[in-house]
A and B are shown apart, each in its own frame.
Chain A
């Protein structure tokens, strides 16, 4: 199973296995990684699963879709590598991916 590392804002790492087909949001929530609220449950409608993709993985995670862009526009601390975790499906190609969490979801 692909391995995903979530790093909290304070540096604490959570390395977990996530089945292909699940989203990076589901991977965090299912493994009780703190810092991902995911209020809307994965509908790309709340921006509470904001993550930063580490540079090495930026090219493999695709680009923001239009709705995702709209939602991220209102999140806090947006950077070029900001994404919504519910919009990225885990695949074998993403095995080893590292993502960082913001200080707070908003």
Chain B
């Protein structure tokens, strides 16, 4: 599988390959950041592109903004059933989760957990999040070099998730670990198999299930909470879910990943983007009121989840191409977010961009990210507090990137903090 594309072998330029041989599923492309060039070529020359042979099988790539919106909002033709990443699910171990379900079951389960992240609940959480942000930032070593990913990006998202699950605080890094285990499946997203093998993966996830089963039981039917576990345990439509442990596990995995990798990488990616674009950092210093707009721009720029996959339920046509029933159709959000026919100066990071919210990172249609407001709120509060303390969060050296065609991850990024001048 991933051996065919050893990390040390450099990959050819997109423009040196015959068009029909272009395969954007190779995870190393994202690690080396060459994927941008590959997608640029596809958007120009073959926006709905068929790759007849990849390590995940044949698949269509949808690379332009409007085509992606069309697929994403047409859930009757483009199904999410069983899997939403390029590689097929393991038939022997595929915990059901509502992101990988069609209507009507998807709707019922999604509705059960939505209140945890709906605006009314978020307003109550804001001051709590701010306390955590301040505590994390005030504990950082000023003037020393340290890993921003571990100390801030992971720590903040994990605390937020622990709050949303009402999860035992001292054990919160388990959530980070289970998230990484869930998204590191080589057969599905091209991740490096050395992180955790298939057997270990199942074992770790079963431990996750057992841990949450205990939480579920302890919450009981009279528990009044707006955390995810209590909402599932008390909603009439989902309260039987613990009788189907795999389905309970699947939805936990979804909520854990949804609240973890995404915001984590937007936190790291925002710091990096501002370092690479000093003029934008200056704009921010001059006008911190740009933060909400910048948050949307960061989420577009990073596109924390690079793709979502659908499966055609019938023969159809997209961008002039004939798609057959059963075909894999991959919407590359990471590409659509750089489509300069829809987004002005799409390859530039502009924190005061007009219509910054018009991006694909949350997806569109019935599967649109339900935690989008939580993610935005964490980033907004974090940047408000960073700007009160630091003149600059300086990136030192090159960040380490994850090998995956799904999570656009930064695994390590060394930084040095420069306090505000008195």
Contact = CB atoms under 8 A, between A and B. Distances in A.
Interface string A80-104: 0000000000000000000000011
A91 to B, nearest CB: 25
B56 interface: no
Given A70-B103, A76-B118, A41 B358 contact: yes
Specify which of B72, B358, B364 lies most central, judged by the most chain A CB atoms within 10 Å of its CB.
Answer: B364
Interface in B352-406: 355, 357-358, 362, 364-366, 368, 370, 373
Contact of A37 (B107, B111, B357): B357
A104 B374 CA distance: 13
Interface string B94-127: 0000000001000100110010001110000000
B226 interface: no
Interface stretch (A11-19, A20-28, A43-51, A55-63): A43-51
B73 interface: yes
B107 A46 contact: no
A103 B119 contact: yes
Contacts of A46: 362, 364, 368
Contact of B357 (A39, A47, A76, A104): A39
A67 interface: yes
Contact of B364 (A37, A43, A74, A76): A43
B111 A74 contact: yes
A44 B73 CA distance: 8
Interface string B62-105: 00000001001101000000000000000000000000000100
Contacts of A73: 107, 111, 366
A43 B73 contact: yes
Nearest to A67: B73
Interface SS majority for chain B: loop
Interface SS majority for chain A: loop
Contact of A106 (B72, B110, B119, B358): B119
Contact of A45 (B107, B119, B120, B365): B365
Contacts of A103: 119-120
Given A40-B69, A41-B358, A74 B110 contact: yes
Nearest to B358: A41
B357 A45 contact: no
A67 B365 CA distance: 8
A71 interface: yes
A71 to B, nearest CB: 7
By size class, the interface of chain A is 20 to 34
Interface in A26-41: 37-41
Nearest to B69: A43
A41 to B, nearest CB: 5
Contacts of B110: 74
A73 B75 CA distance: 15
Specify which of B75, B110, B119 lies most central, judged by the most chain A CB atoms within 10 Å of its CB.
Answer: B119
A84 B340 CA distance: 27
Contacts of A44: 73
A74 B73 contact: no
B119 A71 contact: no
A48 B370 CA distance: 12
A76 B358 CA distance: 21
A47 B119 CA distance: 14
Interface string B324-360: 0000000000000000000000000000000101100
A44 B74 CA distance: 11
A48 B296 CA distance: 15
Given A39-B357, A76-B118, A45 B111 contact: no
Contacts of B103: 70
A79 B322 CA distance: 41
A76 B373 CA distance: 12
A26 B415 CA distance: 43
A76 B75 CA distance: 21
21 contacts: A37-B357, A39-B358, A45-B368, A46-B364, A47-B368, A48-B357, A70-B103, A70-B366, A71-B365, A73-B107, A74-B110, A74-B368, A74-B370, A76-B118, A76-B119, A103-B119, A103-B120, A104-B119, A104-B373, A106-B118, A106-B373
Q: What 4 A-B pairs are tightest by C-beta distance, nearest first?
A: A45-B364, A104-B119, A45-B73, A39-B357
